[in-house]
Amino acid sequence: MDADGDLVRRAGQGQQSAWDALVARYGSRVWAVARAFRLSQADAEDVFQTTWLHLVTHLDGIRDPERIGAWLATTARNECLCALRRAGRQVPTGDDADLEISDVAEPEVDAGVLASERDAQLWEAVGRLSGSCQRLLRALLADPAPSYVEVSAALGMPIGSIGPRRARCLQYLRTSLVGITGST
Amino acid sequence: MSQTPDHDEADPADEALFAELKAMIGHIDPVPAGVEVAARAAFAWRTIDAELAALTHDTLLEGDRLVSAVRHGGTPRLLTFEGTTLSVEVEAVEVGQRRRLVGQLVPPQAAEIEIAHRGGEKRVDADEMGRFAADDLVPGPVRVRCLTRGTGGQTFQTPWIVV
């Protein structure tokens, strides 16, 4: 697989295939950031599109092309904060790790896609978690998985806190699942 | 891949549950296909000839204002973009399901204005006073390009802004 830095440099030289490879590699992660901020479908789509447009604009000026994942995560975060302001929602300042974003639109989920009973149970259990757990897990649930550096950039959370918080949130989730299913 | 997930808390039960979550998200909330297509197409907006102006002021980002004027019908959102020799002040107005941009070049001068938006590219003229307006823009990311007409006409563009 091509290194991130090579893809950024080749895209900067005008190579569409390198650009497409970046979108394929990081698309799920950028989308996960937008969803982690619990944006509506329309706002999440604006964040996604605008993040990639910013990268197009700045392709030649990326200081550290190997860290393009963190650059995209930071850019997506900033766009999410703008989207929250446009929607008239409270916007965090500083470390928002413990912020509960209130008055949010749940991502709309079509009941038809929760065809599997297990998916439905998991979805319900996630919905019972705190806002900060939901946000962290959603940011982590991208494919390919984001690095903790990227998650830290996306959520404004210290890198060292991500592993322990992830473990705690999964523990809460397991407890919640027991309440829903009677077993994990 | 240069970056791999950090599994510093690799409890097998945690990882099994996490894998289930990841599969669920893959089923119910993947990147929408149309959105990914648009991101690939975004590459066509690459320009290498224009000076990139800096966003120096945006009433949306001011202080503790929590409510966007554009979405809630109060005072319009005002943005200022500055380049080395040219600036543009833009007012973004919500008009039903569309957006209207009203702009002012500083210093005032005639120019060709190209506004890129979801619906394509709209071309309007800035008059001798540097004023321009564009209606019927699709909400979402927009970018303004100015091609000045004076000697050594220059191209100047703003960053993408969601209106």
Q: Give the 3-state DSSP-derived string for A60-74, with helices as H, strands as E and coil as C.
A: HHCCCHHHHHHHHHH
Q: Do B9 and A167 touch (CB under 8 A)?
A: yes
Q: How many residues are present in chain A?
A: 184
Residue A39's pLDDT band, with cuts at 50, 70 and 90, is: very high
Verify whether the Cβ–Cβ distance B43 to A11 is below 8 Å.
yes
Q: What angle do CA A168, A169, A171 make, to 5 degrees?
A: 65
Contact A109 B143 (CB under 8 A): no
Put simply, whether A178 touches B (Cβ < 8 Å) is: no
pLDDT on residue B67: 46
Closest residue, chain A, to B18 (C-alpha): A170
pLDDT digits (tens, 9 = 90+) for B57-110: 999 887 554 444 444 455 789 999 999 989 999 999 999 999 999 999 999 999
Q: Is the pLDDT of residue A153 over 70?
A: yes
Contacts of A144 in chain B (CB under 8 A): 1
Q: Do B39 and A114 touch (CB under 8 A)?
A: no
- B120 pairs with which residues across the strands? B117
**Range A1-9 average pLDDT:** 93
B6 touches chain A (CB under 8 A): yes
**CA torsion angle A86 A88 A90 A95 (round to 10):** 0
Q: Which has more confidence, B64 or B36?
A: B36
pLDDT band at residue B35 under the 50/70/90 scheme: very high
| Average model confidence (pLDDT) across chain A | 88
The answer to whether A16 contacts chain B (CB < 8 Å) is yes
How far apart CA A175 and CA A182 sit, in angstroms, is 10
Are A124 and A130 within 8 A, CB to CB? no
A139 DSSP 8-state letter: H
Model pLDDT for residues A129-145, shown as the tens digit of each residue? 999 999 999 999 999 99
3-state secondary structure of B25: helix
- Tell me which range, A74-83, A101-110, B142-151, is most confidently predicted by mean pLDDT: A74-83
**Residue B35 and residue A48: Cβ atoms within 8 Å?**
yes
- Cα gap B108→B103, rounded to integer Å: 11
For residue B2, is pLDDT > 50? no
Output the six-digit token pair for A73. Answer: 């995560």
| Omega within 30 of 0 (cis) for the link into B30 | no
CB pairs under 8 A between A and B: 155
Is pLDDT above 50 for A104? no
Phi, psi (deg, nearest 5) at residue B68: -75, 130
Q: Across the interface, which of B2, B40, B60 has its CB nearest the CB of A19?
A: B40
Please give the helix or strand (H or E) that residue B132 lies within, else none.
strand B131-137
Is B19 near chain A, with CB under 8 Å? Answer: no
Rounded to an integer, what distance in angstroms lies between the CA atom of residue B25 and that of residue B35? 17
Structure pTM?
0.88
Q: What is the pLDDT of residue B68?
A: 45
The answer to whether the CB atoms of B17 and A144 lie below 8 A apart is no
